[in-house]
Amino acid sequence: MEKNIEFKKSLGQNFIFDRNLLTAIAKDGGLGKDDVVLEIGAGAGTLTDVLADIAKEVIAFEIDTSLKPYLDKVQEKHDNLKIIYQDFMKADITTFIKSKAKVIANIPYYITTPIVFKLVDHIDMFDGILILVQKEVAIRFASPAKCKDYGITSVILQSIFDVDIPRIVKKECFTPAPKVDSALCRLIPHNRYNISDFSDFKDFVHLAFSMRRKTLVNNLKTKYDKDFLTNKLNELGLDERVRPEDVTVENYIKLFNFLK
Ligand code: SAM
């Protein structure tokens, strides 16, 4: 099949044909027979087919209608599959998904961050998200404080998800092979923290990391009173010279709730 496909680099088309790997990915996503799955970027339908073999229902988005002949073959096999030929970023997912769903997808890398933040905006719809992304991106998402990869997305994602990396997928597993290895990133919603306003919290984290080489107080003082900030940091046991990357997710939430 892969010999006949004209892969479009501009759409992030790096496909996986190894069924053992695809089955392992579905397992990493904890997929079961009662699950509704959202797949973003069905491609030639190889992962779609595995998902539809296991799950109750699969809703798969694909922007490239030239892949329809391949996806039609997968569609013929499964009554529980709905393929939507639309740009996922423009779609209103609430019209397609009516109950809690799992996301399992080998997503197009050129829009990783917009996809993740679209999913974050609909967090109540999902009980788990498993996405294949570039390895360095997965490491950033899962990174703990005090590590060089810890930053804005680490704090925002970990404030609402438990994030881990169940599997590295070598670049040779894709057709065509991309330049770098990939990793599965698993995001499981948790309700560990009470964040008074999530949209404001995201802005707060952006401001906190606006200048990475500056101290946290210097970044935040453009909006908040410096003495007040210093006092609150001290209450959290943090030094006023602390850097943005040295503050844990929990302390970011505490600080934000103090300042609200
Ligand atoms: N799931 C397939 C697999 O694992 O072999 C294909 C994965 S490939 C990395 C990503 C797929 O996303 C491509 O088929 C591409 O055409 C599709 N895609 C790219 N941008 C999209 C968008 N905005 N909305 C929906 N699908 C998109």
pLDDT in tens, the chain (260 residues): 666 899 999 999 999 999 999 999 999 999 999 999 999 999 999 999 999 999 999 999 999 999 999 999 999 999 999 999 999 999 999 999 999 999 999 999 999 999 999 999 999 999 999 999 999 999 999 999 999 999 999 999 999 999 999 999 999 999 999 999 999 999 999 999 999 899 999 999 999 999 988 999 999 999 999 999 999 999 999 999 999 999 999 999 999 999 88
Ligand 1, atom nearest to 105 Cα: 1
Domain count, the chain: 2
Ligand 1, atom nearest to 174 Cα: 5
What is the model's pLDDT at position 196?
85
Domain that holds residue 234: 198-259
| Residues 169 and 202 both lie in one domain | no
- The protein residue whose alpha carbon is closest to atom 11 in ligand 1 is 41
What is the model's pLDDT at position 58?
98
Segment (H or E) for 114: helix 112-121
pLDDT digits (tens, 9 = 90+) for 238-253: 999 999 999 999 999 9
Choosing from 154, 172, 189, the residue where a domain stops is 189
| 255 C-alpha to ligand 1 centroid (Å) | 39
Q: CA 104 to CA 119: how far, in whole Å?
A: 12
Question: Which H, E and C letters describe 63-110, residue by residue?
Answer: CCHHHHHHHHHHHHHCCCEEEECCCHHHCCHHHCCCCCEEEEEECCHH
| Residues 102 and 220 both lie in one domain | no
What CATH number is given to the structural domain containing 239? 1.10.8.100
pLDDT digits (tens, 9 = 90+) for 93-152: 999 999 999 999 999 999 999 999 999 999 999 999 999 999 999 999 999 999 999 999
| 15 C-alpha to ligand 1 centroid (Å) | 8
| 40 C-alpha to ligand 1 centroid (Å) | 6
| Residues 165 and 243 both lie in one domain | no
| Residues 48 and 118 both lie in one domain | yes
- Indicate if ligand 1 lies below 6 Å from the C-beta of 163: no
What CATH number is given to the structural domain containing 105? 3.40.50.150
| Residues 39 and 148 both lie in one domain | yes
What is the model's pLDDT at position 108?
97
- Indicate if ligand 1 lies below 6 Å from the C-beta of 106: yes
Ligand 1, atom nearest to 42 Cα: 1
| 204 C-alpha to ligand 1 centroid (Å) | 32
What is the model's pLDDT at position 59?
98
Test site for ligand 1: of 8, 14, 15, 28, most ligand atoms within 8 A of the Cβ: 15
- Indicate if ligand 1 lies below 6 Å from the C-beta of 87: yes
Residue 162's contacts (CB-CB under 8 Å, 6 or more residues apart) are 187, 188, 190
| Residues 172 and 231 both lie in one domain | no
- The total of other beta-carbon atoms located within 10 Å of residue 99's CB is 9
| 45 C-alpha to ligand 1 centroid (Å) | 10
What is the model's pLDDT at position 159?
98
Torsion, CA 84, CA 89, CA 90, CA 91, rounded to 10: 40
Q: CA 76 to CA 192: how far, in whole Å?
A: 43
pTM above 0.85, yes or no: yes
| Residues 64 and 166 both lie in one domain | yes
- The protein residue whose alpha carbon is closest to atom 19 in ligand 1 is 11
What is the model's pLDDT at position 238?
95
| Residues 119 and 242 both lie in one domain | no
| Residues 29 and 130 both lie in one domain | yes
